[in-house]
Amino acid sequence: MSNTFGILLKLTTFGESHGAAIGGVLDGMPARMSVDVAEVQRFVNRRRTAWNIFDSSRVESDRVEILSGLLDGKTLGTPIGFIVRNTDARPSDYDALANAYRPSHADFTYQMKYGIRDHRGGGRASARETVARVVAGGIAIQALRQAGVTIEAQVESIGGEKEPAAIEKILAEASRQGDTLGGIVSCVAHGVPAGLGEPVYGKLSARLADAMLSIPAAHGFDYGDGFNLANMRGSEALDLFVKRADGRIGTSTNHSGGIQGGISNGEDITFRVAFKPVATLMREVPTVDGQGNPITLQPQGRHDVCVVRRAVPVVEAMAALVLLDAFLLANKNMKS
């Protein structure tokens, strides 16, 4: 199983949804970078449940414990180890799933690949794993900020709705019906210099796609005008070069999403991530057991109606890890 992400900046994560803890090791961080652990904690808090009826009732403190790699608020250049302990795990909630395959979950595929699986909330396949990504991403975001790069993601739509009032209405309706919703998160990275990424394999766009599609429930990725470009003429899609007031060459539009030929062009990098509806429904669902016998799953456990809002910091975190790694690969100077 691959649990390591990155080339020069590598994140290795560990832990299961209902195990003792989720943790990680972030290796390759430049030395002498300033890291505010309290800010990392605030970033991680954005991923937690929002204390409303649409989020899982699992209440984790998500307190970040840094084990190594920092001294007096500075990176040492050594591996940064950290854990987030699971304090509200209830593995017994999943006893009935030890011999059942939940539709659209990883139960069946993990069993086929490994011959064994952790049925307690999905184990490594659970979105609980993403808390480690957010810790590491919170560190990478601070390093990028020192290089003039900022990243901001937001909910673009949920269940096809974009207006807040309409979103709340459709979430309430799905919740009453024991159903779930998906949606889209959009993201923009400001201040990314030209020259990051590789021209053939290792394109910056491909690395962002790899990162985003590794997030649980992510099912689609596009950048710039994305799939809309398929319906445009070349004359409509060209990003014409202009000379700006400061003398810098840029483009008058950004259909390319800040990436051309797999390499950043100095414009804002924009992309979107589509998330499927949560696979666990709070109503009876037909399936089969490990022997292929038809059974009915009864609703149990604690689950989100929609994960899109909680996915926003995860998207930002993964984008930060990709961009910081690209900085290091391009030998860009990182201010300390």
- 206 belongs to a structural domain: yes
- Extended strands (E) in the chain: 4-5, 10-14, 21-27, 64-66, 70-71, 74-75, 80-85, 100-101, 150-158, 183-190, 218-223, 241-243, 249-251, 259-260, 263-264, 269-275, 285-289, 294-297
Using a pLDDT cut of 70, give the percent of the chain over it: 92
Q: Which range marks the domain in which residue 133 is found?
A: 4-329
What type of residue sits at position 289?
A: D
Secondary structure tally for the chain: helices H, strands E: 7, 18
- The structural domain count of the chain equals 1
Report, as an integer, the average pLDDT of 33-60: 79
Is 157 within the bounds of a domain?
A: yes
Please report whether residue 87 resides in a domain.
yes
Q: Return the H-helix or E-strand segment holding 315.
A: helix 308-329
Q: Which pLDDT score, from 0 to 100, does residue 194 have?
A: 96
| Domain-embedded: residue 11 | yes
Instruction: Confirm whether 336 is domain-assigned.
Output: no
Q: Could you count the other beta carbons within 10 Å of the beta carbon of residue 199?
A: 10
Model confidence at 58, in pLDDT bands (50, 70, 90)? low
pLDDT of residue 223: 98
Each residue's pLDDT tens digit, 90-119 = 666 677 788 889 898 889 998 999 998 888
Output the six-digit token pair for 248.
């810098």
Where on the phi/psi map is residue 266: left (φ > 0), alpha (ψ -120 to 50), or beta? Answer: left
Kindly report, residue by residue over 8-40, the tens digit of the pLDDT: 999 999 998 888 899 999 999 999 999 999 999
Dist. CA 26–CA 6, nearest whole Å: 10
Least confident of 139-153, 188-202, 299-313, 315-329: 299-313
Structural domain includes residue 334: no
Least trusted range by pLDDT, from 148-152, 219-223, 263-267, 295-299: 295-299
**Residue 335 belongs to a domain:** no
Give the confidence band of 55 by pLDDT, cuts at 50, 70, 90.
Answer: low
Rounded Cα distance, 3 and 250, in Å: 38
Out of 46-55, 133-142, 203-212, 295-304, pick the least confident: 46-55
Residues 6+ apart with CB under 8 A from 188: 151, 152, 153, 268, 269, 270
Type of residue found at 31: A
> Under 8 Å CB-to-CB from 115, ≥6 apart: which residues?
none
CATH for 68: 3.60.150.10
